[in-house]
Amino acid sequence: MAHSPFSTGLIRSSTDLVLLTLLGERPMYGYELLVTLADRGNGQFQLKQGTLYPLLYRLEREGWIGATWETPPSGKKRKVYALTRDGKREQKARTEEWQRFTTSVDAILEECKGGNKS
């Protein structure tokens, strides 16, 4: 069954966490991040390339990610982003917050479902 895309608000509230988590796995360049995003999460979480750069520059300005130019063995010079120490701390804090949030929302939905049945 084809799913409708996530609402803008939902994506906006979780994009930072998603990007920090992916970069926490390994350093990546911009397009690599987009492809990985599309491949993971059942392909539901998709960003346009034009949306990605302002997000990355904001995370860089916060000091949560750093960037270096690297030349892979086969290919052109690319700007690779990686998580900083502050970024790791922020990613961990936001993950905990997200888990508490989703647990809370799930609990409310479950209780309401139970209430509706009775």
Partner 1 sequence: MSDLNTNPTATDFFSQLRTSLGSSACPDEIIAEVRADFEAQVERLCAEGMGEAEAIGRALEQLGNPYELAHHIRAERAPLPGRGMRILRMAATFVVITWTLLMLWALRPGAYGSGGVAVTLGVAMFHLPVILLLWPGIVWRRNWLFGLLPAALGLIALVFMSAGGVSQTSEIVIQLEGSADLASVPAQIPDSSKQINRLLLIRVTLFLSFGSACVILFLMMQQRAQRRRAVGLLIAGLLLAELPFQIEEWRFRVGRDHLTSQSGAPEQAAEELSPRYRYRPDSDENDFFLSWSRPISPGFALCYGSERDETWVID
Using CB under 8 A, list all residues that contact partner 1: 29-32, 34-35, 48-51, 53-55, 57-58, 61-63, 76-79, 86
DSSP 50-106: HHHHHHHHHHHHHTSEEEEEE--SSS--EEEEEE-HHHHHHHHHHHHHHHHHHHHHH
Residue with Cβ nearer partner 1 (14 or 51): 51
Residue with Cβ nearer partner 1 (17 or 114): 17
Q: How far is the CB of 32 from partner 1 (least distance, A)?
A: 8
Structure tokens at 49: 């390339």
Q: How far is the CB of 47 from partner 1 (least distance, A)?
A: 9
Residue with Cβ nearer partner 1 (57 or 111): 57
Count Cβ atoms within 10 A of the Cβ of residue 65 and give its class: 0-12 exposed, 13-18 middle, 19 or more buried.
buried
